[in-house]
Structure 1
Amino acid sequence: MRILTCSAIAACMALTAPQLAQAQDLGSNFKRDKNVSVRQRPRPDYEATGQKAGGFTLYPRVTVDFEHNDNIYAVATAKTDDNIWRVKPELAVRSDWSRHALGFFAGGNVIRYSDKGTEDTEEYTLSANGRLDVARGSNITASGQYQRLTEPRTSITAGSPAGATPKPVQYDLVTSSLVGTKEFNRLRVTARLDDKDFNYKDQGSPLFNQNTRDRNELSYGAKAEYAVSPDTALYVSATGNKKDYDTNLAAFDRSSDGYVLGVGANFDVSELVRGDLQVGYMKQSYDRAAFKDIDGVNVLGRLEWFPTQLTTVGVNGSRTIEESVAPGSPGFVSSNIGASIDHELLRNVLLSASYTHGKDEYEQIARDDKRDNFAATATYLLNRRVGLFLTYNYLKQDSTGAAKGASFKDNKLIASVALQF
């Protein structure tokens, strides 16, 4: 189950770091831009102009968050509240070329607690990405990224078999990807290779050892899409993966191989609905004999409804196999369904809300986790340089079974200001 975040800045596309411009695809059967969501809609009067530097444009930005959290340790009783400051400087660089593209990003996140200084951490990200336009409808993209991240206390993978760790768990994540796309009129073929390397930081005690989680995840796959019309395509996809754990302790070795086979459709069929739906079969086989295979139905989907040009309603769902840190369990099947709504009250005032329900069913142990998350954000863009955000986030987790994990409720209220140039 993916970890849910509550940062106000993440809810506003207007101040999101620029991404690489897409290759020219005029006349393509795979364009899905008939409808424009509230978050995607251009707002020239409120977008950063950037700083020109030769063939590149620099987009500096800094965001300051002030958060009140009523349960910073994510526990059921004896809750501890605190006020948290975050300062997030960022610099995005994007090329201005007519063909090909190149981009860079550097960002940090300094986190400070008013009372509980042991929770203080720093995060940072360095990344580069590029696109080579081989021919019309054909391109190759590549990216690389290094991150130092902190696992939230509310994460289902936070802590250890001995309980909550003395300090937040930090880890380094190195990711890289290579994607090739070729379009043949009604047929488009995409092949991709992704690599992730996780390196967790030790907690200084054998009771809270995190090194057993160090691993490399390699995934590879291909997707073939056939456009039955300019606004609808059917596709088949196949993705394989190999996960290698570094540990020499057999009890913690969850090395495995797996695959996902799927069929689906993506569409933008009217001025009302756009989406991408896939269903298939997934399987993960573990090297350790004591761990049984996990398999079942795989689902990935998202739908967007546009009742008016000022409102976008979204629905999403997934069913996937995820990594476990619970003793005796190789992994779990995570099922999630969610809904969201974005409304443009004024050109510079946006209101957003989302709700997600998830259930994690652990293999070979008696444990089920249910999570409910609600978030609401109000965005006020003063001008192209300043944005204000107010976010409320509610998270509830119920864990049941003989090997159950933590159950808790957590409320966060976050006020943010973003400055961009």
Structure 2
Amino acid sequence: MRHAVTVTGLAGLVTLLSAGTAARAQVAPPPRPAERQSDEFEPVGGRIGSFFLFPSLETRIEYDDNILALPSEGEGDVELTVRGGVAIESRWQRHSLEADAYVQQNFHGRFTTEDVMEGGARLRGRLDISRDTSARLIASLDSLAEDRANITSAGQARRPTRFRRADALFALAQDFGRVQVVGDAQMVVLDFDDATRADGTVLNQDFRDSTYLRASLTTLVEVSPRVSGLLRGQVDRLTYSGNPDTPDPFDRDTTGYAIEAGMKLELSNLLFGEVRAGVLHRQVDDPSADGLTGASFGANLTWAATPLTTLRLFADRQVEEGGSQLVSGNVRSQARVEVEHELLRNLVLEGRAGFARIETIGQVETSADEYNLMVGATWKLDRNFRVFARADRFQRFADDAFFREFTRNRVTAGVRLVF
């Protein structure tokens, strides 16, 4: 989901921040095969003072056998996508600053109404205030077109729904010897354009405009050099802008909290990451609508099974904009397993299997299940050229007609040029 916002936090945030605190001398996890660098296959970039600039150009072609994500009798199409980007990275001994921007355009053979241009930019910075204190800022702004496969996508729209997403996250980590405290705050703003039906009538989407605010506090207590206990609390608020011309049938704004306990692990040099579990609660502002109280969980584990093979387990529960005036949001419980294998120094194979359960909050109570399988490969020809290919299958099963069921198969091949 391009525009999902989390209930239980950004996976791996605690790991990211604690790894950047110099006072805790922990072993860094080995890089995954796709991230492993070899001088003869890595781009040089262009030096600008203490920064390095990395332009890139990517072209890929894809066949989708259900381009409109229809429940039955889906039609296939070929899609060509051209993407240009640029990234800049600092080379400072202390602190860091990274930024990147991209723009892409796709072209379809038959369904030209699916042609869209997208673009965005993001900024990531780290400030090492002291040996024990660090701050991070991550901000992004994107102009996107909603994927037809998104569970909130307007199925009646003649063209993909356009929207803008602004996201900002600030985090501060303080080390007190065997105890570390991490606080973070996030804001996500979504702004949707109206869509148009095939007959030309307007499909209002203003009711989907929303603002999400979240704040959390995490405490890590070192139990042993490789195991830390974790306690995390979070509060968040999701509000909808609404449209006075088409008022909502009920107040869809919600407030939630989550409390979790878990562990951050560095077992030997092979298993790294964190696991956590607890309880979450969401309350709808309108008293006529039911809220939600249930389990909260998360996992982000990496296992270096062999020097050439890495497996990763990711799981969490998150809330996303509901896509309907009858619901205040959807709760997504998801898990996926990823594997990467370095067949050659410059050839990496990958696979992924994922599952998600989506449940509504509001005046409609229903659910859907999503399954995804993917296999792919990336071949680095030299410092500048990468060739990649992948195939994936996506299926959704729903309890009733509120969520549409469909199956989609895609095959993609492309080339990426990096400098």
Match of 2:348 in 1: 350
Residue aligning to 1:318: 316
Q: Report what 1:33 is aligned to.
A: 28
Structure 2 residue 180 is the aligned partner of structure 1 residue 185:
no
* Residue of structure 1 equivalent to 2:254: 256
Query: How far apart are 1:71 and its partner, in Å?
Result: 0.3
Moved more, 319-328 or 270-279: 319-328
Give 1:414 deviation, angstroms: 0.4
Segment drifting more, 214-223 vs 334-343: 334-343
Partner of 2:364: 365
Report what 1:376 is aligned to.
375
Q: How does 1:76-95 map to 2 (within 5 A)?
A: 76-95=71-90
Aligned partners of 2:99, 2:17: CA distance in 1, in Å?
A: 13
Distance 1:24 1:334 in 2: 30
Alignment of structure 1 residues 382-401 onto 2, 5 Å: 382-401=381-400
Residue 99 (structure 2) aligns with: 104
Unpaired stretches in structure 2, ≥5 consecutive residues:
5-15
Displacement of 1:21 after TM fit? 12
Deviation per CA, 1:329-356: give whole Å up to 9, x if none: 3333322222221111011011101101
Aligned partner of 1:116 among 103, 107, 111: 111
Determine the structure 2 residue equivalent to 1:11: none
- The Cα of 1:120 is off from its aligned counterpart by 0.7
Letter in 1 for 2:356: G
Per-residue deviation, residues 5-40 of structure 1 (Å, max 9, x unmatched) = xxxxxxxxxxxxxxx9998655625x3524443233
Alpha-carbon contact 1:151-1:169 (below 8 Å) kept: yes
Q: Does 1:404 align with 2:402?
A: yes
Establish whether residue 175 from structure 1 lines up as the match of residue 171 from structure 2: no
Q: Deviations over 1:164-218 (max 9, x none)?
A: 2111011011111211111121111111111111100111577621110001111
Q: Does residue 322 of structure 2 align to residue 308 of structure 1?
A: no
Which of residues 263, 266, 278 in structure 2 aligns to 1:265?
Answer: 263
Q: 2:69 aligns with which of 74, 77, 83?
A: 74
2:327 alignment partner, SS class? coil
* 2:156 maps to amino acid: A
Contact 1:334–1:358 (CA under 8 A) maintained in structure 2: yes
Q: Which residue of 2 aligns with 1:141?
A: 136
Do the aligned partners of residues 124 and 217 (structure 1) sit closer, same or farther apart at CA in structure 2, a change above 3 Å counting?
same
**How far, CA to CA, are the matches of 1:164 and 1:252 in structure 2?**
23
Coordinate RMSD, CA, aligned: 2.2
Q: Which moved more, 1:385-394 or 1:365-374?
A: 365-374
Aligned AA (2:405)? S
- 1:339 corresponds to 2:331: no
For residues 3 and 373 of structure 1, the distance between their equivalents in structure 2, rounded to whole angstroms, comes to: 18
Corresponding position of 1:51: 46
3-state SS of 2:249 partner: helix
Counterpart Cα distance in 1 of 2:416 and 2:76: 25
CA distance in structure 2 between the aligned counterparts of 1:319 and 1:154, rounded to whole angstroms? 20
> 3-state SS of the aligned residue for 1:45?
helix
Residues 220 and 32 (structure 1), Cα distance of their counterparts in 2 relative to 1, 3 Å cut: farther
Q: CA deviation at 1:243?
A: 1.5
Aligned partners of 1:21 and 1:101 also within 8 Å: no
The 8 Å contact of residues 366 and 404 in structure 1, kept in 2 or not, is answered as: no
Once the two structures are aligned, what percentage of the paired residues are identical?
Answer: 25
Greater CA drift, 37-46 or 79-88:
37-46
Are the counterparts in 2 of residues 66 and 85 from structure 1 also a CA contact under 8 Å? yes
| 1:299 and 1:320 in contact (8 A); partners too | no
Change (3 A) 1:21 1:113: farther
* Corresponding position of 1:230: 225
The answer for the alignment partner of 2:296 in structure 1 is: 298
**Shift in CA distance, 32/222, structure 1 to aligned 2, threshold 3 Å:** farther
Q: Equivalent of 1:413, from 402, 411, 416?
A: 411
Q: Is the 8 A contact 2:313 2:335 kept in 1?
A: yes
CA pair 376-333 structure 1, distance change in 2 beyond 3 A: same
Q: Which amino acid letter does the alignment assign opposite residue 420 of structure 1?
A: V
Partner of residue 216, structure 1: 211
Q: State the secondary structure of the residue aligned to 1:250.
A: coil
What corresponds to 1:14 in structure 2? none
- Residues 274-283 or 315-324, more deviating: 315-324
1: distance between equivalents of 2:66 and 2:60? 18
Give the letter for the 2:333 counterpart. Answer: S
Q: Return the match for 1:277 from 275, 278, 296.
A: 275
Matched, 1:241 2:236: yes
Q: Distance in 2 between matches of 1:297 and 1:77?
A: 35
Task: Give the CA deviation at 1:255.
Answer: 1.3
Within 1, Cα distance between the matches of 2:298 and 2:58?
32
SS of 2:113's equivalent? helix
Are positions 1:127 and 2:145 aligned together? no
Contact 1:245 1:255 (8 Å CA) reproduced:
yes
- Paired AA for residue 375 in structure 2: A
The alpha carbon displacement at 1:81 in A equals: 0.8
| Alignment length (residue pairs) | 401
Alignment TM-score, normalising by the size of structure 1 = 0.89
Please, which runs of 5 or more residues in structure 1 have no aligned partner?
Answer: 5-19
How many Å apart are 1:308 and its aligned residue? 0.8
